[in-house]
């Protein structure tokens, strides 16, 4: 019988996905390891506080670095940790470098792996996340999927169907559990924001790393700001290039520091539209009914287009699409199946059955 679990978290979105899973398994012997991939107070601690999660038992403090450097540092730290505590199951989340690092270490130590948010595919191997997802799924004994098509993706890659469990979306569990706390008026007052605004987030390497691309993006974001005030909490990844390109030089652009979970979703809830390259925000806007323009050539979350408010746009399409979104009133009323607030409990049920605890 298996009773001890280690959850491995590294970045902001990992925390949002893990909160309901950790809560639903709280009768088991659980350890939470934070790799320290995200480390600034505003990128990490604020999220633990906002989500009411206990402090991690261990923080590896790996910090930033190139892909090899960061992934390797997480692996070295986790191997030590897993040898010291030897969990019966390691639970990993999403598609970040900490996710693949944890799955690799666990597999080599013959510790079973559960992957929360398995089977998503952008089919774009230039994204580090796509590499991380594919490899993590190959190494996972339990694949928890958020939308039905993910099971087909796993099957196409030879993952036995019996490993896949369609459980819904734990990120949406967290959103629904906190709905009463998203007070847009309070966030507007705290940051001096206008009544009507577009909220933007940009951090994908393909959009913000190269100064030329970042400058082109800023020109189009300024085009959106010509239509409505643009509020942009800036992720540290894009800060230097976007500001060097003059992001904050438009009078209707409001550059903010990264926001905590509650303030951020409150700001999203009150937005007339969202412009983003984030994965999770495509899902959160779908549930909140806020039009979402995703500045990417692809998405691993097509259900947010078929069932939600999401639309993929190029740089050139962004301003006309924003004009249309700002003028529109339609709000899709289809919710993706099982995005109902109970994914964490379903994951816990599968884990219990699988481990023989139930």
Q: In the chain, what's the furthest Cα-to-Cα distance?
A: 61
Is 250 catalytic? The answer is: no
Residue ranges in 251-310 that form contacts with ligand UD1 under rule CB under 6 A: none
From 38-46, 103-111, 192-200, 336-344, give the range in contact with ligand UD1 by CB under 6 A: 38-46
Active site residue: 165, 203, 254, 342, which one?
A: 203
Q: CB burial class (10 A; 0-12, 13-18, 19+) of residue 350?
A: middle
Picking from 264, 254, 320, 312, the residue whose alpha carbon sits closest to that of residue 288 is 264
Which residue has tokens 């509020």?
231
Q: Which of 5, 8, 9, 12 is close enough to bind ligand UD1 by CB under 6 A?
A: 12
CB of 98 to ligand UD1, least distance (A): 7
287 neighbors 335 (Cβ within 8 angstroms): yes
Radius of gyration for the chain, computed over Cα atoms and rounded to the nearest angstrom: 20
Closer residue to ligand UD1 in complex, CB, 28/113:
113
133 touches ligand UD1 (CB under 6 A) = no
| Beta strand extents in 134-196 (DSSP E only) | 142-145, 164-166
Q: Which of 11, 169, 174, 299 is close enough to bind ligand UD1 by CB under 6 A?
A: 11
Closer residue to ligand UD1 in complex, CB, 148/236:
236
Residue ranges in 47-66 that form contacts with ligand UD1 under rule CB under 6 A: 64
The pair of three-digit structure tokens given for residue 234, joined into one six-digit string:
């800036």
Closer residue to ligand UD1 in complex, CB, 282/286:
282
Closer residue to ligand UD1 in complex, CB, 81/130:
130
> What residues have CB less than 8 Å from 228, skipping those under 6 apart?
196, 197, 198, 252, 272, 273, 322, 326
Where on the chain is the footprint of ligand UD1 (CB under 6 A)?
A: 11-13, 37-40, 43, 64, 70, 95-97, 128-129, 203, 236-237
């Amino acid at each position: 019988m298996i009773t001890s679990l280690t959850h491995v978290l590294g970045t902001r979105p990992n925390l949002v996905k893990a909160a309901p899973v950790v809560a639903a398994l709280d009768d088991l012997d659980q350890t939470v390891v934070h790799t320290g991939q995200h480390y600034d107070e505003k990128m990490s601690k604020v999220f633990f506080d906002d989500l009411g999660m206990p402090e991690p038992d261990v923080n590896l403090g790996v910090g930033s670095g190139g892909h090899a450097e960061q992934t390797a540092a997480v692996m070295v730290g986790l191997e030590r940790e897993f040898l010291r505590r030897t969990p019966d199951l390691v639970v990993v989340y999403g598609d970040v470098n900490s996710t693949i690092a944890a799955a690799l270490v666990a597999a080599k130590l013959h510790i079973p792996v559960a992957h929360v948010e398995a089977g998503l595919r952008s089919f774009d191997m230039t994204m580090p996340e796509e590499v991380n997802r594919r490899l993590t799924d190959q190494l996972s004994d339990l694949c928890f999927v958020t939308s039905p098509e993910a099971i087909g993706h796993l099957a196409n890659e030879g993952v036995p169907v019996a490993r896949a469990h369609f459980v819904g979306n734990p990120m949406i569990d967290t959103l629904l559990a906190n709905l009463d706390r998203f007070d847009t008026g309070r966030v507007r007052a705290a940051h001096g924001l206008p009544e009507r605004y577009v909220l933007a987030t940009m951090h994908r390497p393909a959009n913000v790393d190269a100064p030329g691309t970042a400058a082109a993006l800023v020109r189009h974001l300024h085009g959106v700001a010509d239509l409505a005030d643009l509020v942009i909490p800036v992720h540290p990844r894009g800060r230097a290039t976007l500001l060097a390109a003059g992001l904050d030089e438009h009078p209707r652009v409001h550059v903010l520091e990264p926001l905590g979970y509650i303030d951020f979703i409150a700001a999203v809830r009150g937005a007339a539209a969202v412009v983003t390259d984030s994965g999770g925000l495509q899902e959160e806007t779908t549930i909140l009914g806020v039009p979402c323009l995703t500045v990417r050539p692809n998405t691993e979350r097509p259900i947010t287009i078929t069932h939600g408010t999401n639309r993929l746009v190029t740089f050139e399409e962004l301003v006309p699409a924003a004009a249309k979104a700002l003028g529109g009133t339609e709000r899709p009323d289809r919710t993706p199946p099982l995005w109902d607030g109970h994914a964490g409990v379903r994951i816990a049920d599968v884990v219990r059955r699988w481990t023989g605890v139930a």
